[in-house]
Amino acid sequence: MTAITHYTTSTVNEFQKLKRTFAFWLTIISALFIPIIYLLYYLIKYKQLIPTEGVNPWDKFIVEQIRAAVPLLVPMFIVLVTSLIVQIEHKSSGLKHLFALPIPKWSIYFGKLTAVVCTIIIAYTLFFIFMVSVGYIVGMIHEELKFVSFTPNYFENIKLLFRSFIAILGIVGLQFWLSFRMKNFIIPLGIGTVLIVTGLIVYRAEEAVYFPYAYNMLSLFPIDKDLDSLIWFPTVSIYSLGYFLLFSLIGYIDINRKNIT
């Protein structure tokens, strides 16, 4: 087999292992969480939420939900889902089996990492689909909310989600390594939670651009002076990708050297 087939085989297998796992359900529940709250909010309080004439209600509707998700829900989801996906292997003491198979070790590590990243992409996609669906649902129930008369600003909204996604990758690299290394899933979970809270406290500081756990918050605000608001790759995105590559590589080198017990 070639390197490519090793990699695709490994990745496809990782997805098969996700069938019927809690990680799978967590992805759907997390993506639904805020849209459901907004569904109830708009159904109950629709009288106060009727937009002024000629204003697109979608902008406020979607940006508010993204803002609600970014500080805590998104990073906690990342930490949890990464731990859970890797935990499937620890729970079945699968590593000793995988590392004794005729497949390169890198394909195991990066195949699983790919599955994690894809799961996160799926979560973002579902989140967006659910937000738009909820908008149309409440719009159809209460026409005066004007959701049906306007269309969502897809391009700008997706850009905002994309920035958040790239900003989160630095954490993914580190959390994945920690989860892979430690059989006890409380440790990466604990470390992740503490660092996320730290990120929330320090993100306003200038030095926060070096702290990947603050990047998701920073992805909302254009703190770099590049442009006023929405560019696809703000500074934190570049740093986040850098951290992702760095941690993934260190993680792989570490796992490759490690004794599998």
Partner 1 sequence: MNQLIVKTKNLNFSYTKTRKDIEDLGLEVPKGSIYGFLGPNGSGKSTTIRLILGLLKKQSGNVSLFNKEHTAKTRLENLDKIGALIENPSLYGHLNAVENLKIAANYRNGISLERINEVLEIVKLTHAKKKKVKAYSLGMKQRLGLAVSLLSNPELVILDEPTNGLDPKGIIEMRTLIKELNEQYGTTIFISSHLLSEIEKTCTHVGIIRDGKMLYQDTVKALKQSKGKKMMVDLEVDKFIDAMTVLEELNKENTSLTDEFIQIEVESKTEITTVIDALRAKNIAVYQVSIKNNLEELFLSLTEN
Residues near partner 1 (CB under 8 A)? 1, 9-10, 12-13, 16-17, 19-21, 88, 91-104, 257, 259-261
| Token representation of residue 253 | 């080198």
| Token representation of residue 194 | 């503490």
CB 99 within 8 A of CB 111: no
| CA pair distance 178, 187, nearest whole angstrom | 8
Q: Which is nearer to partner 1, 142 or 183 (CB)?
A: 183
Q: Which is nearer to partner 1, 18 or 66 (CB)?
A: 18
Minimal distance, residue 104 CB to partner 1, in Å: 7
Q: Which is nearer to partner 1, 225 or 257 (CB)?
A: 257
The CA-based dihedral angle spanning residues 161, 77, 120, 195, taken in that order and rounded to the nearest 10 degrees: 80
Instruction: Quickly list H helices, the chain.
Output: 3-18, 22-44, 57-69, 73-91, 95-98, 105-141, 154-181, 186-202, 215-218, 235-257
CB burial of residue 44 (10 Å; 0-12, 13-18, 19+)? exposed
CB 26 within 8 A of CB 74: no
Q: Which is nearer to partner 1, 194 or 253 (CB)?
A: 253
Minimal distance, residue 22 CB to partner 1, in Å: 9
Minimal distance, residue 89 CB to partner 1, in Å: 9
- The enclosing H or E element of 226 equals none
Q: Which is nearer to partner 1, 41 or 99 (CB)?
A: 99
Minimal distance, residue 175 CB to partner 1, in Å: 22
CB neighbourhood size of 178 (10 A): 22
Q: Which is nearer to partner 1, 104 or 222 (CB)?
A: 104
Minimal distance, residue 120 CB to partner 1, in Å: 21
Map tokens 């990782």 to a residue. Answer: 14
Q: Which is nearer to partner 1, 100 or 186 (CB)?
A: 100
Minimal distance, residue 98 CB to partner 1, in Å: 8
| CA pair distance 108, 126, nearest whole angstrom | 27
Minimal distance, residue 88 CB to partner 1, in Å: 7
Question: Taking the chain, what is the end-to-end CA distance rounded to the nearest angstrom?
Answer: 27
